Structure 1
């Protein structure tokens, strides 16, 4: 397979804080030609129609195809590339508009599986009476509409348009613009300043009637080793149970405890016997999930709105007794699948009423060099691993950040470890070792902040207090003046404020002025010639109370001055 850049189309630059390289990151879009060995299946296709969805689909005359003794031959495909300083995203509009490549430019490694041959497999949708099973395991990320098992549109051309702005590069792909069928648009946005990207599916029912259908995206992943997976690859699902979809060892519908069932850790691919497909049960419990190979230090975190997009499905071909790779490729390469969608399982559907749409935004964060994948959001991923009394901590940020990172013991909210001004470069793991904490990852809470911005916390428990301050006052005020204060809480919300006042210098006592108030402003009256200093603290709904400011001048003050007396003159009328 070869890659040839044909034409550079668009490029944009966006100003950023200094990165140490003397330049600002760039986002660009260009086209390329990919030559991939392809079996001659196209000559054996017929276009047929699904009355249920009013959508055409491709029907393969498999007996005739097999009888022809098919052999692959090189075929050129047009690739559309979004690229910034950290990532290269490659799309194949001719093959279902799939996202074909996620390349880490720092290492040159590819995260997605890319089949060296485009070859019909014996799997695929079977929702039409005459539909013989077939599907192209071409690799990448495909968009599966309107049925499960990959949908109808993975082998047809999709339309697309691209855009580059100061913020980054964008591609929007669509299967159809027709007004008489369910349709999908997929927008992928690559920010100029991030080692992550956003995926935005948009499902549209432009018809005058309700349409019941299914939609999933399916990522075929091979992180780390070139175009294959290793035994230490893990499906990271923060759930307690999964439902079996299909398996060589279990029955469809079986419920397995997760990650360990029957003494076997099924999150680790190397512990599997035969193939296994499974759904998070009863759906995504949190708004993130991922795949990570701890031995190779490579993987992907997917962050999504878990309240409405609950579907998570994993699939692997097995390990001890895997399926024969000749079913989908010619070189023994392999991969795992990671699906996401708005339905909990393939057995569930969604309905859009007439002229109704459904859309959402996900963040996909490529990972490398973390000790594990323990937690993720759209800003960063965190990995924790304990070994010989040492906690190995890793943080990987989507963009350049400087953060305060804390480790708390969850049982009693004791702060065990803290580092301020930690540098978090985009897409690269920042690693620290914390010995002697006396607790394992499941007993700890890691939190990260950047100033007043909450970045991450590996548990819903809130151990850190809110932050507040009194707004600066003018050096001099009249006897009556307004004092304003405010705060931020990175957890359960601010429940109230205490505000104290000091009359005099730093040796004067503090006196309560406002106690547990929900107000953020108050009028104060003082005496001329007196200097008044104010300080605040906040408490949150979880019961955490902020400390009073530690320094003598971490507050705000003003001196009351005597206003000039008014001079009244007699009114003289002429």
Structure 2
């Protein structure tokens, strides 16, 4: 049959996303993929340079998404289904354009790990993320801030005369637009993805891209790639070069043979065809390949240890099979960012499809023969020349204007196009996508004045790029403008000016808590724990008196209450920490983060048995961060007993 594209509805048990955190993300992201400085010694020069190139100072202007929970109910998700005789592809435009499912129709096999639930967890740069499928990670090291956000989608003519689905959005961490064109030729067993990242600015920009594919794993799963060495990252803030497939007596190409979660960034030799495959015991599975631009390849494993298994269970539901990730990126490792000159672009083509190879060779002891069997099978079903030709054909359609709209993303791209007067053929950011969050900034651009909100609410999102900072500096200096100006100056690294702006705004502000909180963060990062504790307490008291309850107010109370209690505990000011606890709404006290803070407070007050009872009664941290060891650390202060399995999310060996 001819390739068809249709809208559909996907129903899944789903946890709610909740409200975004309205407090600006002033702190640098707590990224687990960070290196100690000494770890760069001995690296290839280009790799070391790109690891040090333009790391994020903050997540601004993006907001943290931490309002989700773990109670699930049936929910409908808008989806796009692309289908021919060989493949059925299900795409979720409301969730970052994730490819949720890739079914090989002749065999009925699902080629991806398809999560049976939607359960956000704290893995994206800005919080909410979910496992499964193929995701398009751009922006900076980590899972994209668009993991649980809508992107634009529309139909575009495909190179073969059919139709393809274009996904596009404005990535706000780096202020760069991108597109992904999903194209399934009529007679193809492979889904093509044409990808483009553009830099419309005059200045160079750091670019990050890793296409991340979750694949089913069991004891017979082996991951193969054209490499004899890899860079191993084991959540100990170090990279080491290791042999492939065996290291320390274990064949690391089998995801379940190691104990701890780990990344293996393959050293793909220059000129080699880039590909990666996950094949089961019978030699069947998924292969991903691309044109040369996307040259990096990676395997991520959860391992067979207790912590990794707990994470797998946490991200789905009991009884669901586990997964590994096979990834493809612009650089050797995910710790690197690649320079893209002003006015230039990166583009490439990827292909995803079924692969079958001789299982005796795939799982044999001869690594060269194993990967040769997989690569030979790939060459038989999809020669490299065909991928290169498909890329050239797609490039002729990359600028084609979209036709029928299938989904709408954010209005931030439309705002930036208006302000920057950029020409971006193929990815229109229409003015009708501008919404409530963009409205005050649109007024600032048009009139030079940032309007006051019509009702008392927590401040809306800040914009921090240089052109917005310039507009804020020349706008009338009312308290709200000073607040946003301080956030933009902070993002630019001008801490002193940011503090001055917040202090000026404080003098006349009818709502003081947003400014007080920013100043408290500045004091905390400057090392003044006492002054920071005072600031967070004053901010929380002001918020508690002003809050109208519900929605953004409850999100602000939760976030600021956590910061205030943590700062007071760090300063040893227990009566004041108890006073903050007493002012919390009862519903907030039941949140996991506050249950943990309650245990810490009880222990500090000398009530160790009561603190341990908090753990024994049971609680969950819906926003437990990847690599976070807080639960184990607090438990160890309460008892010498082993950490209960429900709290064991450790991703690395215990340090002595």
The TM-score with structure 1 as length reference comes to 0.54
Structure 2 residue runs of 5 or longer lacking an equivalent are 27-55, 363-367, 388-656
Local SS of the residue matching 1:117: coil
Kept in 2, the 8 Å contact 1:182–1:203? The answer is yes
Equivalent of 2:261 in 272, 275, 292 = 275
CA deviations 1:496-552 (Å, max 9, x no partner) are xxxxxxxxxxxxxxxxxxxxxxxxxxxxxxxxxxxxxxxxxxxxxxxxxxxxxxxxx
Local SS of the residue matching 1:254: strand
CA distance in 1, matches of 2:91, 2:386: 34
Q: Does 1:60 align with 2:65?
A: yes
Higher percent of residues as strand: 1
1:216 is aligned to: 210
Kept in 2, the 8 Å contact 1:120–1:137? The answer is yes
Kept in 1, the 8 Å contact 2:300–2:324? The answer is yes
Q: Does 1:85 align with 2:80?
A: no
CA distance in 2, matches of 1:252, 1:177: 29
Kept in 2, the 8 Å contact 1:292–1:373? The answer is no
* Closer/same/farther in 2, CA of residues 346 and 77 from structure 1, 3 Å limit: same
Cα displacement (A) at 1:94: 0.1
CA deviations 1:83-108 (Å, max 9, x no partner) are 11000111100000111111111122
Local SS of the residue matching 1:202: strand
1:98 is aligned to: 98
Kept in 2, the 8 Å contact 1:148–1:216? The answer is no
Structure 1 residue runs of 5 or longer lacking an equivalent are 1-24, 126-130, 223-228, 375-382, 399-423, 428-447, 456-574
* Closer/same/farther in 2, CA of residues 284 and 253 from structure 1, 3 Å limit: farther
Local SS of the residue matching 1:323: helix
Equivalent of 2:339 in 330, 351, 356 = 351
CA deviations 1:464-500 (Å, max 9, x no partner) are xxxxxxxxxxxxxxxxxxxxxxxxxxxxxxxxxxxxx
CA distance in 2, matches of 1:284, 1:299: 26
Equivalent of 2:304 in 312, 319, 323 = 319
Local SS of the residue matching 1:143: strand
2:190 is aligned to: 196
Local SS of the residue matching 2:309: coil
The 5-angstrom pairing of residues 13-32 of structure 1 reads 25-32=1-8
CA distance in 2, matches of 1:296, 1:284: 31
1:184 is aligned to: 178
Kept in 2, the 8 Å contact 1:203–1:359? The answer is yes
Equivalent of 1:259 in 232, 236, 245 = 245
1:128 is aligned to: none
1:565 is aligned to: none
Local SS of the residue matching 1:348: coil
Equivalent of 2:317 in 330, 333, 347 = 330
CA distance in 2, matches of 1:98, 1:288: 22
Kept in 1, the 8 Å contact 2:129–2:143? The answer is no
Local SS of the residue matching 1:26: coil
CA deviations 1:59-96 (Å, max 9, x no partner) are 1346xx56xxx411111111111111000111100000
1:158 is aligned to: 151
Q: Does 1:175 align with 2:180?
A: no
Kept in 1, the 8 Å contact 2:164–2:183? The answer is yes
2:561 is aligned to: none
CA deviations 1:170-223 (Å, max 9, x no partner) are 11100139999212111121111111122211001112222113121111112x
Local SS of the residue matching 2:326: strand
Kept in 2, the 8 Å contact 1:230–1:293? The answer is no
2:132 is aligned to: 139
Q: Does 1:33 align with 2:4?
A: no
CA deviations 1:258-301 (Å, max 9, x no partner) are 01112321112232222221211377772233233341432122
Cα displacement (A) at 1:363: 2.3
Which structure's relative contact order is higher, taking Cα pairs within 8 Å and 6+ residues apart? 2
Corresponding pairs, count: 349
CA distance in 2, matches of 1:151, 1:356: 22
Q: Does 1:123 align with 2:144?
A: no
Kept in 2, the 8 Å contact 1:232–1:269? The answer is no
Cα displacement (A) at 1:162: 1.8
CA distance in 1, matches of 2:301, 2:356: 21
Local SS of the residue matching 2:19: helix
After superposing the two structures, state which structure 1 stretch, 189-198 or 112-121, moved more. 112-121
CA distance in 1, matches of 2:386, 2:148: 43
CA distance in 1, matches of 2:206, 2:327: 20
Equivalent of 2:273 in 256, 266, 287 = 287
Larger radius of gyration: 1
* Closer/same/farther in 2, CA of residues 260 and 454 from structure 1, 3 Å limit: same
Cα displacement (A) at 1:395: 7.1
CA distance in 2, matches of 1:253, 1:337: 19
CA distance in 2, matches of 1:179, 1:320: 35
Kept in 2, the 8 Å contact 1:82–1:88? The answer is yes
Local SS of the residue matching 2:256: helix
Cα displacement (A) at 1:251: 6.5
Cα displacement (A) at 1:310: 2.4
Local SS of the residue matching 2:95: coil
CA deviations 1:380-428 (Å, max 9, x no partner) are xxx9779xxxx99997579xxxxxxxxxxxxxxxxxxxxxxxxx8x79x
CA distance in 1, matches of 2:375, 2:203: 50
Equivalent of 2:351 in 363, 376, 383 = 363
CA distance in 2, matches of 1:154, 1:180: 16
